[in-house]
Amino acid sequence: MTTSTLRTLAVFCASANGTHPAYLEAAQELGTALAARNIGLIYGGAKVGLMQAVAEAALRAGGRVVGVIPEVLVDLEVAHHGISELHVVDTMHTRKALMGQKSDAFLILPGGFGTLEEMFEVLAWQTLRLHDKPVLLLNINGFYDPLLAFLDHAVREGMLKSRSRAILLVADTVEDALNQLSVQPH
């Protein structure tokens, strides 16, 4: 995949900002960088936490932002109605499926259960050959170090194949993440 073919990037991230300022800064840097590279942002459609930060930064920089949010979250008044395009769907599963259809790759910022579930689902889809899109974990401030150690442990214990573990790309900076995604075959 070249930068010109990376047209859209699905970003999974928290509905919170977290305790370390580096998480918010990375989300804002990512949104700005996506707009600068003319890469559309596909995200969870919310106006809270890191989701809002990445979307607002992309919008401020002139980028295209597409949100996909389940109806239950719209009803909780967290939908971001100021983005380029907002899709309201029936379930979380439909949300992930639509985000996957609309994106050329997946990037994961820090987050909790929802973010982890989204990441593991697209990784599972890839191991089942349901897609061949790159999946990259943006390991800001070492947030995911324990998870990466666990995945390596799972390989050593024979529960995860080395080739499956290798599909999860890892970067420590936004620039490295976007550079890795720009050279991945698609």
Positive/negative CA dihedral, 48, 60, 138, 163: positive
> Does position 186 have pLDDT exceeding 60, yes or no?
no
The stretch 102-128 carries a mean pLDDT of 96
In which band, very low, low, confident or very high, does the pLDDT at 68 lie, cut at 50, 70 and 90? very high
Which 3 state secondary structure label does DSSP give 172? coil
pLDDT band at 75 (very low <50, low <70, confident <90, very high): confident
- pLDDT attached to residue 3: 40
State pLDDT tens for residues 124-149. 999 999 999 999 999 999 999 999 99
Task: Report the chain's C-alpha Rg in angstroms.
Answer: 15
- Please give the structure tokens belonging to residue 113: 């259960």
pLDDT confidence of residue 184: 57
- The pLDDT value recorded for residue 76 is 81
Structure tokens at 72: 């239950």
Work out the average pLDDT over 67-89: 92
Nearest to 8 by CA among 88, 80, 99, 124: 99
User: How many angstroms separate the CA atoms of 38 and 94, rounded?
Assistant: 26
Average pLDDT for 166-186:
88
pLDDT of residue 45: 95
Per-residue tokens: 90: 């029936």
DSSP string, 72-112: HHHHTT-B-TTSSEEEEESSHHHHHHHHHHH-SEEEE-S--
Kindly report the pTM of this predicted structure.
Answer: 0.93
Q: Show the tokens assigned to 172.
A: 């420590």
Report the mean per-residue pLDDT for the chain.
Answer: 94
pLDDT of 172 reads 97
DSSP-assigned states of every residue in 10-22: EEE--SS--SSHH
Q: What average pLDDT does this structure show over 50-75?
A: 96
Mean pLDDT of 151-155: 98
